[in-house]
Amino acid sequence: MALLFSTRTVGDITVVKCDGQIVEGASAARLRQHVHDVLEHTPAVVLDLCAVPFIDSSGLGLLVRILARTGPGNLKLCGLASRISDTLRITRLSTVFDCYESEADAIAAFYRVSPGSSPLSPFVPPNVLCVEQSADLLTYMHALLRQAGLSVITIDNLPDAVTLLKATRPKVVLVGRELRSAGSSGTVDTFNRLLDPLAVVELPADFARQDPSETGPRLVERVQALIDGAQSV
């Protein structure tokens, strides 16, 4: 069976979910090229191997090469089948890789930085998390807040927003009002529960159509005031 991939971005991290065996030949070559392409855009990768039943010696060698390419701490593995976990333990490669049970655990590990970490690190927990379905609006808010000197990450769906809320604990969350009332489900309920203790700015439904020369400065001012208030507590 051909090795397949699905790829998405969660904050500053790229999650690559593999489906199929990672073995010598076309399978390993496809993974090598796919990760190479991913690393053109981000240094941080989670390889989700929950749908990978077997990795041969060549495949393990490829994972070691990917680890060397990403640099220390920038590759996490998750969802390993017991057979693969046993192989890593027997070969003593379990001490080489950072392995986690779930994607959420692997993503959270990137944000567990030491107190002395540089504030310029992309994995220092952000001041602001933006949750909005519109890619254009997310891009605008990211640029607006970064220009104001704030650290910010963006996400366009609730499941990954829940992961980032748990991992980063931002001081302020900007969220589209429709997402907070997107019906009753476990994900929506968890999302709103995580927002309860945080400073939240709900974006009105027509925010994208409003004049940014008026709404932009007001939004920055409000977010900064909330951050200042959180820091003084």
If asked whether residues 221 and 171 sit together in one domain, one would say: yes
pLDDT on residue 124? 72
pLDDT on residue 113? 62
Total domains, the chain: 2
pLDDT on residue 233? 42
Cα distances (Å, whole numbers) of residue 10 to 16, 56, 153, 219: 11, 29, 9, 24
In this predicted model, what pLDDT tens digit does every residue of 15-56 receive, in sequence order?
A: 999 999 999 999 999 999 999 999 988 889 999 999 999 999
If asked whether residues 105 and 156 sit together in one domain, one would say: no
In this predicted model, what pLDDT tens digit does every residue of 176-191 receive, in sequence order?
A: 888 887 766 789 999 9
Q: What is the CATH number of the domain that holds 141?
A: 3.40.50.2300
If asked whether residues 53 and 139 sit together in one domain, one would say: no
Residue of 199, 160, 197, 156 whose CA lies nearest to 179: 156
Domain hosting residue 170, numbered range = 128-232
In a domain, 123, yes or no: no
In this predicted model, what pLDDT tens digit does every residue of 82-131 receive, in sequence order?
A: 999 999 999 999 999 999 999 999 999 998 865 454 444 556 778 899 99
